[in-house]
Amino acid sequence: MSFLDSFFGKKEKSVLGVDIGSSSLKVVQLRKERGQAVLETYGELALGPYGGSEVGQATNLSVEQITETLRDLLREAKVTTKNCGVSIPFARSLLILVTLPYRKDPAEQKTVIELEARKYIPVPVSEVQLDWFVVPKSDPVQLTEADPHAASSAPETIDVLLVAVHNDELALLQSVVTNANLTASFYEIEIFSTIRAVVEEQTRPVMVLDVGAASTKAYIIESGVVALSHAISIGSQDITRAISVSTNVSIPRAEALKKKEGLASPGTTLEGGELVFSRIFAEARRVLVQYETANGKSVGSIVLTGGGGVTKQLGAYAKNTFSIDVHVADPFMKTEAPAFMRPVLEEIGPEFAVAVGLALRKLEEI
């Protein structure tokens, strides 16, 4: 665990991003100065030890245990603000891309979306918080009054990303935040925070490969919107376990090896971790090809993020696996920080993409 104390003094308008993951909690505190996001402090604490398991392993802790961890983290990271935004785990949310009839009138379109959403949400709509985003068309139709074919040129359908979060999950997060003496102005599904932190505006779709503890999430981002999401039931804890078996060391030691030595050449003792990554990448490649084939578009690049993204040599290994540009996420590049901290921030960046994205959104409220 590493922390960055404030090098710039305490300011009133500081904000906090709180990422409540399955294996650890992360916080990032920023402030705005001359229009720039300035990094004040950050920190991470593993949840495993609070639930009787190892560092890096996914957990299912109570509200009280998560709150205790968060309080400890806020203290150790020397967080000075209570104003925050909080992540919602992808696994506790529902994202579905659907094609719906187009309606020119916004109110009528809203009604159509809400009625159709009932078909896709497996629980009563009253039990969830529902939101949606219209996915922009690649070649949007430009309609003008002077166009005699305007009516016939209007699209018959639109693609809509439905987003639903169960009220019970929000209640749990709200309890943690309240008991930790924080004030949250929003709760955001983690992929949207990640997009804000690591995906730059591009003309071609981008795949985000988020290697979490229990699972890996593959997203295709198009025009800033999630055009496809897919969960892969293999995560960084499986990589750690494979290294533990191949090296005959403990889980904590294997977790350290993963981050310090990473993916070794075939035939070495860390090959177990590489084999697990090859399974993740094979599934990600299948999703990528499926998207490109169905949509007639090519994905321009892949961004690696999540806790598994800090594995040494992962970027180089991924570049040899995929035929397109691959890079490891560096969300702290969107913040100002002392130059001597850059190597550390670049190394740990993939783990903090969600927390940085949350803090960046929170800064927009100022």
Confidence of residue 172 (pLDDT cuts 50, 70, 90): very high
Question: Can you give 21-86 as a three-state secondary structure string?
Answer: CCCEEEEEEEEEECCEEEEEEEEEEECHHHHCCCCCCCCCCCHHHHHHHHHHHHHHCCCCCCEEEE
Residue pair 359/15 in contact (Cβ under 8 Å)? The answer is yes
Give, in degrees to the nearest 5, the angle at Cα 332 between 199 and 133: 30
> How long is the chain?
366
Q: Give residue-wise pLDDT tens across range 237-254.
A: 888 888 888 888 888 888
Distance CA 317, CA 312 (A): 10
Residue pair 59/23 in contact (Cβ under 8 Å)? The answer is yes
Nearest to 188 by CA among 212, 169, 210: 169
93-101/157-166 β-pairing: antiparallel
Q: Give residue-wise pLDDT tens across range 59-98.
A: 888 999 999 999 999 999 999 999 999 999 988 888 888 8
Q: Give residue-wise pLDDT tens across range 350-359.
A: 999 999 999 9
Q: What is the mean pLDDT of residues 30-44?
A: 95
Q: Give residue-wise pLDDT tens across range 319-328.
A: 888 889 998 9
Sorted by where each starts, the structural domains of the chain and their CATH numbers stand as 14-92+168-363 (3.30.420.40), 93-166 (3.30.1490.300)
Burial of 347 (0-12, 13-18, 19+ CB in 10 A): middle
